[in-house]
Amino acid sequence: MNKELYMKEALKEADKAFKKGETPIGAIIVKDGNIIGRGHNLTETLNDSTAHAEIVAIREAARNLGGWRLIDCELYVTMEPCIMCSGAIVNSRIKKLIIGTKHIKNEYTENQHKFKTDYYERNNINVLFGVLKEECSNILQEFFRALRKR
């Protein structure tokens, strides 16, 4: 499978979150061409501030591999991970991170973006931005547009 096909799988996860009223972010983890972890935001559903798409996918991948070290795994996520998820990505030993869209809307998030990209670089994580960027941005925009109308 190519990067776009994997990101489409992450978008399917984001759609699941959207349908649950969760911020529509989806993630998948791939090892040796197989999806070993899937996740979408469940913070509202589970009343758990750590139930971000990336964390949910990391937990599932670790269960499927039988250990917390996700060596030689790739994480596909529809939106740039937050600082908490960035720490989990580094700690789980993921070496490739593919991101649909950046989370930059003001100076504060721009500073966080720089911090995270430096953090990934220092930990030898290969990061690629912009895979299916429009689709990943659109689902978020649609969600927040609907939320503002309510």
pLDDT of residue 106: 60
What pLDDT does 148 receive?
Answer: 87
Q: Do 38 and 60 form a contact (C-beta atoms < 8 A)?
A: yes
Among the listed ranges 43-52, 71-80, 114-123, which one has the minimum average pLDDT value?
A: 114-123
Q: Please write the tens of the pLDDT for every residue from 84-101.
A: 999 999 999 999 999 999
pLDDT for residue 104: 63
Other CB atoms within 10 A of residue 142 CB? 12
pLDDT at 102: 87
Cα distance between residue 127 and residue 141, in whole Å: 23
Q: What is the pLDDT of residue 137?
A: 95
Which band of pLDDT confidence, cut at 50, 70 and 90, is reported for residue 113?
Answer: confident
* 108 has a pLDDT exceeding 80: no
**Length, in residues, of the chain:** 150
Q: Which long-range contacts (CB under 8 A, 24 or more apart) does 142-145 make?
A: 142/18, 143/18, 143/23, 143/24
Given the residues 54, 60, 74, 80, the one annotated as active site = 54
Whether pLDDT at 46 is above 90:
yes
Where does the pLDDT of residue 105 fall: very low under 50, low under 70, confident under 90, or very high at 90 and above? low
1 falls in which pLDDT band (50, 70, 90)?
Answer: low
54 in active site: yes
